[in-house]
Amino acid sequence: MTNLVFGQALKTSGDALYTTVIAVIFMYLCMVGGTWLFGIRLNMLAAGAYIGLAGDECVRAVFMFLRWQSGRWKTKGFIRQQ
């Protein structure tokens, strides 16, 4: 849930590019790579695919949390303050 909450909060604040880039990178690395490693290479099949999926969610949650804590999203708003 952390990934969903912080990801949507960042998108709503105007920082959608960061969430999209992080999602694309780690979906490919963790989901595809994890499924290949655990599911095919280690012969865990569907359980390995779920491990890759869970790893993707956890890694993205950490990155979304760190972005939220850094405060860099505050500069990415739709409305400019004067």
Q: Range of 49's domain? A: 2-72
The predicted model scores a pTM of 0.84
Q: Cα-atom radius of gyration of the chain, to the nearest Å?
A: 15
| Residue 43 within a domain | yes
| Residue 80 within a domain | no
| Residue 78 within a domain | no
| Residue 59 within a domain | yes
| Residue 82 within a domain | no
Tokens at 82, concatenated? 């004067």
Q: Report how many domains make up the chain.
A: 1
State the burial class of residue 6 (Cβ atoms within 10 Å of its Cβ: 0-12, 13-18, 19+): buried
Q: What confidence score (pLDDT) does residue 1 get?
A: 82
| Residue 77 within a domain | no
pLDDT tens column, 39-59:
999 999 999 999 999 999 999
Q: Which residues of the chain have pLDDT under 70?
A: 78-82
Task: For residues 24 and 19, give the distance between their C-alpha atoms in angstroms, rounded to a whole number.
Answer: 9
